[in-house]
Structure 1
Amino acid sequence: MRSVVLIGMMILLYTLQSLLCKKYSDHYPGKDEMASPVFTLVSGAVVVAVSFAVAGFSFKAAPLTLLLGVCNAAILFGYNAFIIKAAQTGAYSVLMVFSIAGGIMIPVVSGVVFFGDKPSFFKILSLLVIFVAVFMVSHRKGEALATDKVFIPACVGLGFCNGTYGALLDAQQRLTGAAEKEEMVAMTYALAVLISFVFMLLKQKRNAFGALRQTRRSLFYLLICSVVVALAINVMVAIIPLVDIAVLYTFDNAGTFLFSVIASVIFFRERLSRLNVAGCAVMCIALICVSIL
């Protein structure tokens, strides 16, 4: 029962994060390309502070945890870079299929190869159905599949980074123990903050700190979203030792995506086509199958 409640909290938090990120991006007063590094810089600092507090204001991490944290920081930066490039050069529906497929399958394959996990045939089949449903839900009539040759490489990079991020969080707890999960998160986001700051210096050079300027609205959404990010990641790492990894990352990726679509319809009055609605229904059934088969 505890795991069900935590998964529900995780989905709600990540859905809220996606909605708040959209509002922040809409109101960010600087250059579009700087919105992501500024967000990573601020939200990362909040995540580090919250994780440090959850850990009891102590930091005790094994060398392997530190190494995994360093790797995950680079992966997190890569994820942000690839999702921006993919969004700028091709179809959202294709982008989401790659992102969610990678976010689910890479941790599952990692568990099978390195830790001896054995997902059932029907669970794998349900995952494949979910990937089809993601395309159905996110497809928009008339959208161009790609407008640039870098789109597919960007999508592949996005899927790889999304999946590797989750796989490394899982591997840390299996290898060095759940007691160091907050240290893993803190290390990941502290280095992500540093990488983002260096990126800002290289991009802006003379006016790097100018990119941090916010309007009242953008600052509000930035700070609230940062707190939500911190809560969401700490809830997720708390769930990792409690449930099957395939179930966790399926609900983390596909479940949150589905809930975000529903929330967009309710709060932003987005319209869904018949294909989108059918995809939502198929995904609901497939999510149930993943959790029970």
Structure 2
Amino acid sequence: MLALALSVLSSTWIFVVFKLYDIYKVQTLVAIIINYITACTVGFLLYDGPIGISEIMDTSWAWGPLAMGVLFITIFNLMAKTAQTLGVSVASVATKMSLVIPVVIGLIFYGEHLSFFQIIGILLALAAVYFASLKENGITINRKDLILPILVFLGSGAIDASIKYFEEKHLTDQEIPIFSSMVFGCAALSGLIYVGLGSKKQSLKLNIKNIIGGVALGIPNYFSIYFLIRALRSNNWSSAAVFTLNNVAIVMLSTLLGILLFKERLSIKNWGGVALAVISIVLVALF
């Protein structure tokens, strides 16, 4: 329970930092790459064991961080493109609705079971994500742009499903810090390659503001993954319950923090989404 709560707090802080980027004009792409470098460094500092290329390459999960690192930076850019083209609401809904993918995979491939009330809770969670993310004008998507939220949905679900797969099949408790660190390190490398390929198109600045922004994001980013893997290793809940509670609690808490810290206004539908989130958490957690 504690690991899940810490994962939720870490992930929610990420949204707060993104909001502060806009306020203080932090260059997002530079900060994101520094964030991944910071998260990688935190993992190495926490790892209690030998750190060497040969030791890492001998593990059964060595190929995983490379694939997930590329996926991380790709989905980040797709999320940014979706938010710019269709709005933040669409990007948020597509990202959080992806909890369906690891839930279904957990039921099919890992033999997990859900009670009737948990199934109702998960359905309410999906509705909660949708309504909590709606803006005043609702969500409208042109058919030609539909591919963007679909790719974000599939990519975000693939990330969660990959985390579950490696936690279930490959990782020991001792390896969680170094695995998380390697994922972020590969994401940083992918980001640097992306910047190198597109450097002529944009002016990137490595200044103190962007560095602080990256570090402020990197520490909670690391712990959001670290504590999520810890929560998945718990015997208290199935992975379906963990992913549902994690995603819905993040939506609910980030929405409330938006009101308290940034004076955001919620519509009746938004408040309805928060209420559904509370109900879904109760149903999934208690039953």
Provide the secondary structure at the position in 2 that maps to 1:71: helix
Provide the secondary structure at the position in 1 that maps to 2:204: helix
Structure 1: gaps (5+ residues): none
| 1:290 Cα offset (Å) | 1.1
> Which 4+ stretches in 1 moved above 6 angstroms?
none
Equivalent position of 1:225 in the other structure = 217
1:1-51 Cα shifts (integer Å, max 9, x gaps): xxx222222212211121012212443455xxxx23x23321111111111
Distance in 2 (CA, whole Å) between partners of 1:268 and 1:140 is 16
Equivalent position of 1:82 in the other structure = 78
Equivalent position of 1:110 in the other structure = 105
Distance in 1 (CA, whole Å) between partners of 2:50 and 2:243 is 28
Distance 1:118 1:89, change over 3 A: same
Distance 1:219 1:25, change over 3 A: farther
Equivalent position of 2:92 in the other structure = 96
Equivalent position of 1:191 in the other structure = 186
- Select the residue among 6, 9, 18 that pairs with 2:3: 6
Q: How does 1:12-23 map to 2 (within 5 A)?
A: 12-23=9-20
Distance 1:220 1:156, change over 3 A: same
Distance in 2 (CA, whole Å) between partners of 1:149 and 1:74 is 26
The amino acid that maps onto 2:106 is: G
Query: Which region of structure 1 is more displaced relative to structure 2, 218-227 or 153-162?
Result: 218-227
1:224-263 Cα shifts (integer Å, max 9, x gaps): 2222222332222222201421222122222111100000
Q: Is this contact kept in 2: 1:169–1:237, CA < 8 A?
A: yes
Q: Is this contact kept in 2: 1:106–1:167, CA < 8 A?
A: yes
The amino acid that maps onto 1:71 is: A
Distance in 2 (CA, whole Å) between partners of 1:286 and 1:39 is 34
Distance in 2 (CA, whole Å) between partners of 1:44 and 1:213 is 15
| 1:98 Cα offset (Å) | 2.2
Please tell me the root mean square deviation across aligned C-alpha atoms, in Å: 2.2
Provide the secondary structure at the position in 2 that maps to 1:64: coil
Distance 1:276 1:199, change over 3 A: same
Tell me, yes or no, if structure 1 residue 130 matches structure 2 residue 125: yes
| 1:80 Cα offset (Å) | 0.3
| 1:145 Cα offset (Å) | 1.0
Distance 1:224 1:93, change over 3 A: closer
The amino acid that maps onto 2:277 is: M
The amino acid that maps onto 2:10 is: L
Provide the secondary structure at the position in 1 that maps to 2:2: helix
| 1:212 Cα offset (Å) | 3.6
Q: How does 1:1-293 map to 2 (within 5 A)?
A: 4-28=1-25, 30=27, 35-36=28-29, 38-56=30-48, 58-59=50-51, 60-61=55-56, 62-102=58-98, 104-143=99-138, 145-146=140-141, 149-150=144-145, 152-179=146-173, 180-205=175-200, 211-214=204-207, 216-242=208-234, 243-293=237-287
Q: Is this contact kept in 2: 1:133–1:280, CA < 8 A?
A: yes
Query: Which region of structure 1 is more displaced relative to structure 2, 261-270 or 184-193?
Result: 184-193
- Tell me how many residue pairs correspond in the alignment: 280
Q: Is this contact kept in 2: 1:89–1:148, CA < 8 A?
A: no
Distance in 1 (CA, whole Å) between partners of 2:17 and 2:233 is 29
The amino acid that maps onto 1:75 is: L
Distance in 1 (CA, whole Å) between partners of 2:133 and 2:232 is 28
Structure 2: gaps (5+ residues): none
Seq. identity, %: 19
